C-alpha cells in the first residue's frame, strides 16, 4: 500500500526553494510509479525463485533488498549529471529511483536470475553492466540491469524503469564493507588507501572461494 502522505514527507523539501507545485506533484506520482514497479519486480523475482525451487530443487535467490532513492541522493545525482533540478530531467535520465538488490546463493544463480527475468515478455532491458565479467578497479563485482515493466495505474499503463543489482552473498558482503570504507568512513586518507588495497585482494579471494564452492555444489 502506497502512502502518499509518507512519500510527500520523504520528499519533503524536494527541489529546495523551487516553488513549482506541479513539479512537486509530478515527482510524488513518479515515486509512486517507481515504487509500484519495484513491487512488480519483487513479485516476479519471488515467483521465479519458487518455480526454480519446484523444478530444480534449488533456490537461486538468497534474499532480496529493495530501496527507493532518497531525495538527497536524487538531487545530488541531478547536479552531478549537470541536469536541471526539475522533474522533467528525471524520467529520461534517472533510472534508479526504484532499486532492487538480488543476493544469490551461487555465481551461476546470478545469470539464472537475470536470464529468466529478461526472458519475460513484459520486461525490457535498457542497460546492462556486467561487473562480474569486468570487475571495477576497486574489485567491485555485480551484474547491474536497468529494466522496465509496464505498471497498470488507475487510468493508464506506464512503462517504468528500475535498477536491479544481482550479486552473490560473497560479493554482497564485500560490497557492503567497501561501500562503508568509501563513503561512510572518516578515516584518514592513508588508512582508506591501505584498506582499499587489502579489500582489492579479498575480492579475488572471495571470487575464488565462491567458484570452488559452486563446483562442489555441482558435483553433489
> Which residues contribute to the site for ligand GTP (CB under 6 A)?
77, 96, 129, 136, 138, 140, 144, 175, 178-179
173 within 8 A of 179, measured Cβ to Cβ: no
User: Minimum distance from CB of 201 to ligand GTP (Å)?
Assistant: 15
Measure the CA–CA gap between 32 and 29, rounded to whole angstroms.
Answer: 5
Burial letters 145-173, b for 16+ CB under 10 A, else e: bbbbbebeeeeeebebbbbbbbbbbbbbe
CB of 183 to ligand GTP, least distance (A): 8
* Min dist. Cβ of residue 55 to ligand GTP (A): 31
Our CB check for ligand GTP shows the closer of 50 and 76 to be: 76
Closer of 52 and 104 to ligand GTP (Cβ): 104
Given the residues 40, 163, 178, 210, select the one marked as catalytic: 163
Nearer to ligand GTP, 14 or 78 (CB): 78
CB of 77 to ligand GTP, least distance (A): 6
Cβ partners under 8 Å of residue 31, min gap 6:
7, 10, 11, 68, 97
Q: Name the nearest CA neighbour of 147 among 168, 132, 162.
A: 162
Quick one: 7 or 145, whose CB is closer to ligand GTP? 145
The gap from C-alpha 154 to its chain's centroid, in whole angstroms, comes to 26
Alpha carbon distance 49, 51 (integer Å): 6
Active site residue 163: yes
**Which residues are catalytically annotated?**
163
Amino acid at each position: 500500500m502506497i502512502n502518499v502522505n509518507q512519500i510527500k514527507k520523504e520528499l519533503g523539501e524536494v527541489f529546495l526553494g523551487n516553488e513549482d507545485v506541479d513539479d512537486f506533484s509530478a515527482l510524488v506520482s513518479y515515486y509512486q510509479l517507481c515504487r509500484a514497479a519495484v513491487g512488480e519486480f519483487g513479485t516476479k523475482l519471488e515467483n521465479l525463485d519458487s518455480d526454480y525451487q519446484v523444478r530444480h530443487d534449488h533456490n537461486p535467490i538468497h534474499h532480496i533488498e529493495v530501496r527507493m532513492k532518497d531525495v538527497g541522493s536524487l538531487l545530488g545525482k541531478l547536479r552531478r549529471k549537470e541536469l536541471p533540478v526539475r522533474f522533467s530531467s528525471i524520467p529520461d535520465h534517472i533510472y534508479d529511483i526504484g532499486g532492487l538488490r538480488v543476493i544469490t546463493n551461487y555465481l551461476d544463480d546470478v545469470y539464472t536470475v537475470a536470464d529468466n527475468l529478461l526472458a519475460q515478455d513484459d520486461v525490457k532491458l535498457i542497460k546492462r553492466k556486467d561487473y562480474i565479467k569486468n570487475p571495477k578497479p576497486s574489485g567491485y563485482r555485480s551484474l547491474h540491469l536497468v529494466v522496465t515493466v509496464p505498471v497498470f495505474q488507475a487510468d493508464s499503463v506506464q512503462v517504468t524503469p528500475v535498477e536491479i543489482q544481482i550479486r552473490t552473498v560473497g560479493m554482497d558482503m564485500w560490497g557492503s564493507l567497501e561501500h562503508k570504507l568509501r563513503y561512510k568512513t572518516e578515516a584518514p586518507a592513508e588508512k582508506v588507501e591501505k584498506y582499499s588495497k587489502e579489500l582489492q585482494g579479498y575480492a579475488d579471494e572471495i571470487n575464488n572461494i565462491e567458484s570452488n564452492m559452486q563446483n562442489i555444489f555441482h558435483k553433489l
